Amino acid sequence: MNKTNNEELTFIENTMPHTDEDQPALMSEKNVLEALNFHRSFPQYEVTPLHKLTNYAQYLGLKEIYVKDESYRFGLNAFKVLGGSFAMAKYISQKTGIPVSELPYKVLSSKRFKDKIGQTTFYTATDGNHGRGVAWAANKLGQKAVIRMPRGSSPTRLNNIRKEHAIATIQDLNYDECVRFADDEAKKDPNGVMIQDTAWRGYTDIPSWIMQGYGTLSIEADRQMIVDGCDCPTHIFIQAGVGSLAGSVAGYFSEKYKDNKPVICVVEAGAANCIYRSAKRGDGKMVRVRGKLDTIMAGLSCGEPCSLGWYILKNKADGFAGAPDWMSAMGTRIYGVPLDGDPQIISGESGSVTMGFLYSIMMYKRYEWIKKALKLNKKSRVLLVSTEGNTDPVRFREVVWTGLYGIRHRGEEEIK
């Protein structure tokens, strides 16, 4: 079993040789705009907030800190629906030969169109957020969904999925085993389609569409920063489970700002640090982390990297970190109790880890070398993504009310 609460922060700079497998064009502005326009067709669509933490940035010794708050996305409390919904539309587009630009929500959700294309059952594995997004989208489009969840999944997240009329169960499997289980079921179903945000040999189209769907949050944040006077962030800290979101964000900003690429750091749960270990290997090949992958960061508890995301990250990310659970819990508390004048952000354990990481490397002497390696200073403009809100109320209360994974006795010595 991997240790979590007592695990130390790990970090490595990217020293891997660049390869011809670089795929940022997957996240070109043209491709991302296609996804954005699709999402705009939903009546529930609204641009999620980009919070500016002015006083906190000054406190840490930075110029600006922006936080893209995905707890407002489609009323589902997490960003994941962006990927699953767009992948469904692209699958239907491929099946019918109709361009996705001609398949807005109004068309896809109509009874006439459903009767024309027939019934599809979308399968997936999830810790909660992705499955809820797939179930919600399938429900809105009049299709079916079957959702499999790994051991230890939150009953609240299970119930939220079932509220979308999906078949959902918790299996006695870890996340990666659950993916294979759901994929086997989809293959046996004549009308089954696997909608998963990780790629493997022979399964790349749908994960690529999911990554493009995630691009909606990147292009929104990009435009929001420009309106605020920030032409481009100098730094992006993005969390990773399988790495599809991280690859999506890194791909978009690397492609958009080729001549002025932000410093990009990927932050994982230390107990499920497959991206970090792949980077540490040094030759560009992926590494799998096996076992129970015990961490409070359920959305990041993944042991096998997404190959498409990894192809981008190994070429475009500047650093890779594995964060202990206490760092995520601290991030949740920092978001929830902001400095006077800064907005409060409700961020779950997977959403808050980059905040805890940023605080730690800016404030603790033992991590000052990471701050220097990432070239953080008073001119830095940092972008974070809070990928989820309070999606597991019981765990959230344990973190915020009773101090689960606190650091009171760790003896950390602050610089300031």
**Judging by DSSP bridges, how do beta strands 235-239 and 121-125 pair with one another?**
unpaired
Task: For 322-356, write each residue's pLDDT tens digit.
Answer: 999 999 999 999 999 999 999 999 999 999 999 99
Q: How far apart are CA 209 and CA 140, in angstroms?
A: 19
pLDDT bracket for residue 4 (50, 70, 90): very low
Average pLDDT over the chain reads 94
Sole residue written with tokens 């600006």: 64
Q: How far apart are CA 280 and CA 301, in angstroms?
A: 19
Count the neighbouring beta carbons within 10 Å of the beta carbon of residue 329: 26
SS (H, E, C) 155-195: HHHHHHHHCCCCEEEECCCCHHHHHHHHHHHHHHCCCEEEC
Q: Which domains does the chain have, with CATH numbers?
A: 10-79+206-400 (3.40.50.1100), 83-196 (3.40.50.1100)
Ramachandran assignment for 347, one of left (phi > 0), alpha (psi -120 to 50 degrees), beta (any other): beta
Contact 395, 154 (CB under 8 A): yes
Task: For 153-212, write each residue's pLDDT tens digit.
Answer: 999 999 999 999 999 999 999 999 999 999 999 999 999 999 999 999 999 999 999 999
Angle at 120 between CA 116 and CA 125, to 5 degrees: 160
State residue 310's pLDDT score: 96
State residue 389's pLDDT score: 97
**Judging by DSSP bridges, how do beta strands 121-125 and 192-194 pair with one another?**
parallel
Cα 330 from chain centroid (whole Å): 19
Task: For 269-292, write each residue's pLDDT tens digit.
Answer: 999 999 999 999 999 999 999 888
Contact 7, 295 (CB under 8 A): no
For the annotated catalytic residues, the residue numbers are 80, 127
Q: How far apart are CA 67 and CA 52, in angstroms?
A: 6
